[in-house]
Amino acid sequence: MSNKNTPDLIETLSQSVPPVAPLGRRGLWLWVGLSLLAGITYVLTAYGARPEMRLLFSEGRVADNLSAYAKTGFFIALAALAVWQVQATARPEGALNRVQTGLLGLAVIALTTLTGVDIALSSLPAAMTGLSDGAGMCFLTILIGGMVGLGVGWAVWLRHTAPGNPALFGALSAFAASALMTVAYTLHCDHDAPAYLLLIYLAPNLVAALIGSAAGRWLFRW
């Protein structure tokens, strides 16, 4: 049997809790823009732009090597899909969008398949060319940059969310942040082999997702 004073007690307690505005598209895309701008500024300042991007930025002319733009476009699409999924799962009633989830999975499968085909056609040593040429720094730059971006996301918008699945939301948020850093890093790195993109570009996004999943369980206890 409930106490007749319970409603009054709930009303009193709720009045002492400051309201938190729900996550809106403006705050989410503000975080995306800030993260991407900061990542691009850091990458171009610290490492410089690859020749194709310098040509595009300085002369407005597309280089013959279209793989540079294809790589950047691929990770832009991956980051956008992840960000949209973040927005879809930010509230208790939220759920994954099937189309976007399918496209994300298809992108990972496609890159993995392309890597397998490249290995089959050119041999494993040839397919792995470039993995010893500063690959560790590339991996860590993307991973650490993504984690910094996730921290900025927490300050700007993440604390305004109430996900129904904290672990999934944390994983998607970290994946999105890391993917945005990957987009920035594509403006510098000139390694375009499928194996490099899978192991040095996509892999840190997946590692970030694992970290984000654990963080989500800890941050969202409501």
Average pLDDT (11-39) is 73
Mean predicted lDDT score pLDDT of the chain: 85
In this predicted structure, the answer to whether residue 66 has a pLDDT above a threshold of 50 is: yes
Token pair for residue 3?
């106490």
Mapping DSSP onto H, E and C, the string for 192-211 reads CCHHHHHHHHHHHHHHHHHH
Check if the beta carbon of residue 213 is closer than 8 Å to that of residue 167. yes
Give the pLDDT confidence score for residue 15 in this predicted structure: 57
Tens of pLDDT, residue by residue over 126-183, are 777 767 777 889 999 999 999 999 988 877 777 778 788 889 999 999 999 999 999 9
